[in-house]
Amino acid sequence: MNRTLIYVGVAVVSVSLAIWKGLPTPEINPQAFANVGEPFFPEFENPNDATGIRVVIFNPDTAEQKSFEVKNQGGEWKIPSHYNYPADGKDQLTKTAASLVAVRRGVVAGESELDFERLGVVDPASEDSSKIRGRGERLTLTKDNNVLLDLIIGNKVENQSGYYYVRKPDEKLTFIAQLDLELSTKFNEWIEPDLLQVNTTDLRAITIKDYFVDEASRRIVMRDVLELNRPDSSTPWKLEKLEEETEDLKTAEVNSMITTLDELKIVGVRPKPPGVSADLKLSGEVQTRDLSLLDLQTKGYYVVPTQNGMELFANEGDLEVVTSQGVQYVLRFGEVFTGSEFDIEVGSALKEGAEDADGPKEEATDANANSSDLKQSRYLFVTVAFNESGLGPAPVKPTPPAETKPEETKPEETKPEETKPEETKPEETKPEETKPEETKPEAETKPEAVQENAESNADPTVEPTTEKPEAEPKEDPQQVYEAALKKYEEDLARYEQQVEAGQKLVAELNARFADWYYVIDAASFDKLHKTREDLVEKKEPPAEPKPTTPEGNTPSTSAEEKPGSPASQPELKAPSTEKPAATPEKPAEKPEPKAGTPEPASETKPVEKPAPATEPTPEPASTEPPKGS
């Protein structure tokens, strides 16, 4: 019995050894180990040779494959995976290519397809639906239509920073390779994400047109229009039709709006339907029942007849923005939608079309996706036009000096000849001042001094009139005009340069926006879509003026005292009593000026008597008699 068991055991071992020797060994290519340390693609040496990059990734949660591609086509960088949208990809592509030139084969980590899923190097572009897990990222660099590099990058190697499992798509061997890869497949990181390219200091006017489209009548129903403007960046914003006595503008809300405009980012793009122009007008070939336009209706855009033809309007209103460069943006907001990053970037006609048609179904299709990956976004059309008002007022050409001005000066010379009797009054007083120096009679000099004071008080406007013609000849009107004309020409040249620069910028922006409409973050729309209630608050009733009113009564008493001040005028009458004493002397001197009509001068004298200016006259009278003695 024991011998039998021994024979059986020996037989089993013998058979096992025979089977083991007959089995093929695992596919181990000795030459593969010889390639360790060598580049994956030794022919790829110059990173500047790369003119295209394609990245394919796979989302196992949604079983969706995403392809991202950037390519140089005819000297222009575009993104074929995103409707050939223009890309700023040269710098990023050069960096990515430079980091892949030196990629070398490291230690062999896997030798067969059985290792692919474990190492994460399953081809993401594979059509085998049974292989959901373990898919990596496939990165391809091209030069025109030639492949420079093609690798599948898998999981990170544990406890080895910067090392990944890597293999070539046509090989079964997986290697460990060191990668310092700077690569992003986010759409907004390969484009110019700044949608409007404006600064907060450039904004001059903001108009909110709150309306909706009546789908039945195909007409616009306007709710409200709010206009904000400022002449320059240092002036506070003002709201038109604001009742300043009872209302205040919420500056914080306005600042939030202009900051959002400055930071408005593109998160996705869609091509405009054929027949829709840059200004959202429809060509005659487009029918309102076209499928592309019906798709836009699900996104909140409707065709409305206008005086200039059929035009596309938004159900969420417009926002007009004017900058200091003369650029007028019109933003037309569409509907909100929820989707993954890929849905937001490029969308899907089936998904987006079904979204509004049957909302619950869309939510059901997204149920498999991680809720944290879903975001709300909103559609946006942008048009651009040149608005010269943003530049400020244009320079105004100065008017040349009229030819009649020298003619006017001539009659001015003749006018004094005609009005000589009026002007001779002050002129005759001047020789009267010289006459007493020749005749030196004391009696004559006294009335002349009084007459000089009387005439200076009676006609105070005569002296300034004589000073004005002295100042006028200093400024030649022709010289003033020429200086103003030179400044105008300089200002006009600058203004015309601003107009030209603004028109050029508008043309560039129109070329950028002409073929596209955009997707923005839904939160940005909420910060821009404001009503009057959002921007205006009521003023609090002033409480301070009430206590100030009794204080205002106290100065009124002082005002009552002021009318009492004329009582001081009778005090001036006291010196006037001294003047009658001098009057008997004056009639003796009056016979000479009678021919010069002294009587009206005597009538003006009593009016001048209360003036304090007559007080110094008796003092020289007292000093002169001793001189005569």
Q: Using pLDDT thresholds of 50, 70 and 90, give the confidence band for residue 32.
A: low
Name the residue with tokens 């016979």.
591
| 236 and 385 assigned to the same domain | yes
Residue 208, both tokens: 């909110």
3-state percent helix, strand, coil for the chain, nearest multiple of 5? 45, 25, 30
Work out the average pLDDT over 130-144.
91
Q: What is the pLDDT of residue 435?
A: 45
Dihedral sign of CA atoms 127, 129, 131, 136 in order = positive
Residues 220 and 313: beta-carbon distance below 8 Å: yes
Three-state secondary structure along 129-160? CCCCCCECEEEEEEECCEEEEEEEEEEECCCC
| 87 and 211 assigned to the same domain | no
Residues 137 and 102: beta-carbon distance below 8 Å: no
Q: How far apart are CA 89 and CA 72, in angstroms?
A: 9
Answer yes or no: is 625 within a domain.
Answer: no
Answer yes or no: is 548 within a domain.
Answer: no
| 238 and 368 assigned to the same domain | yes
Work out the average pLDDT over 30-41.
74
Q: What is the pLDDT of residue 6?
A: 52
Q: Using pLDDT thresholds of 50, 70 and 90, give the confidence band for residue 293.
A: confident
Residues 12 and 59: beta-carbon distance below 8 Å: no
For residue 548, the surrounding DSSP H or E stretch is: helix 545-564
| 178 and 206 assigned to the same domain | no
Backbone angles phi, psi at 206, to 5 degrees: -135, 125
- How many residues belong to the chain? 629
- Per-residue pLDDT of 192-240, as tens digits, reads 999 999 999 999 999 999 999 998 888 999 999 999 999 999 999 999 9
Answer yes or no: is 126 within a domain.
Answer: yes
Residue 152, both tokens: 């599948």
Residues 119 and 155: beta-carbon distance below 8 Å: yes
Residue 261, both tokens: 């405009």
Q: What is the DSSP string of 445-510?
A: HHHHHHHHHHHHHH-TTHHHHHHHHHHGGGS-HHHHHHHHHHHHHHHHHHHHHHHHHHHHHHHHHH
CA–CA distances in Å: residue 145 to residues 50, 70, 148, 178, 611: 10, 13, 9, 27, 107
| 282 and 145 assigned to the same domain | no
Answer yes or no: is 250 within a domain.
Answer: yes
Q: How far apart are CA 191 and CA 81, in angstroms?
A: 13
| 322 and 384 assigned to the same domain | yes
Nearest to 505 by CA among 190, 202, 84: 202
Name the residue with tokens 């033809």.
309
Burial of 418 (0-12, 13-18, 19+ CB in 10 A): exposed
Residue 312: beta bridge partners? 303
Residues 69 and 22: beta-carbon distance below 8 Å: no
| 345 and 220 assigned to the same domain | yes
Domain end (from 468, 501, 535): 535
- Per-residue pLDDT of 551-588, as tens digits, reads 545 544 444 444 444 444 444 444 444 444 444 444 44
Domain end (from 132, 164, 189): 189
Nearest to 334 by CA among 358, 352, 360, 316: 316
Q: Using pLDDT thresholds of 50, 70 and 90, give the confidence band for residue 475.
A: confident
Q: Which residue has the higher pLDDT, 603 or 375?
A: 375
Q: How far apart are CA 206 and CA 321, in angstroms?
A: 5
Name the residue with tokens 């397809």.
113
Burial of 457 (0-12, 13-18, 19+ CB in 10 A): middle
Q: What is the pLDDT of residue 467?
A: 57
End-to-end, the C-alpha distance of the chain in Å comes to: 184
Q: Using pLDDT thresholds of 50, 70 and 90, give the confidence band for residue 350.
A: very low
What amino acid occupies position 211?
Y
| 300 and 174 assigned to the same domain | no
Nearest to 209 by CA among 326, 306, 330, 379: 330
Q: Using pLDDT thresholds of 50, 70 and 90, give the confidence band for residue 348.
A: low
Answer yes or no: is 462 within a domain.
Answer: no
State whether residue 109 is helix, strand or coil: strand
CA–CA distances in Å: residue 98 to residues 21, 103, 145, 183: 49, 10, 19, 11
Residues 113 and 104: beta-carbon distance below 8 Å: no
The answer to whether residue 79 scores a pLDDT higher than 70 is yes
Q: How far apart are CA 433 and CA 602, in angstroms?
A: 19
Dihedral sign of CA atoms 235, 237, 243, 249 in order = negative
Residues 321 and 386: beta-carbon distance below 8 Å: no
Residue 165, both tokens: 């499992």
Q: How far apart are CA 348 and CA 268, in angstroms?
A: 12
Domain end (from 478, 504, 535): 535
Q: What is the pLDDT of residue 519?
A: 97
Residues 308 and 299: beta-carbon distance below 8 Å: no
> What is the chain's alpha carbon radius of gyration, rounded to the nearest angstrom?
48
For residue 271, the surrounding DSSP H or E stretch is: strand 268-271
Q: What is the pLDDT of residue 17?
A: 46
Answer yes or no: is 140 within a domain.
Answer: yes
| 139 and 273 assigned to the same domain | no
Residue 538, both tokens: 């009521």
408 contacts: CB under 8 Å, gap ≥ 6: none
| 371 and 351 assigned to the same domain | yes
Q: How far apart are CA 306 and CA 627, in angstroms?
A: 101
What is this structure's pTM?
Answer: 0.67
Mean model confidence pLDDT for the chain: 77
Overall domain count for the chain: 2
Name the residue with tokens 């001036």.
572
Q: What is the pLDDT of residue 470?
A: 56
Q: Which residue has the higher pLDDT, 204 or 464?
A: 204
Residues 157 and 163: beta-carbon distance below 8 Å: yes
Angle at 627 between CA 625 and CA 629, to 5 degrees: 75
Q: Which domain holds residue 61?
A: 30-189
| 179 and 207 assigned to the same domain | no
| 169 and 82 assigned to the same domain | yes
Q: Using pLDDT thresholds of 50, 70 and 90, give the confidence band for residue 35.
A: confident
Answer yes or no: is 12 within a domain.
Answer: no
Q: What is the pLDDT of residue 342?
A: 87
Three-state secondary structure along 502-537? HHHHHHHHHHHHCCEEEEEEHHHHHHHCCCHHHHEE
Q: How far apart are CA 97 and CA 142, in angstroms?
A: 10
Answer yes or no: is 602 within a domain.
Answer: no
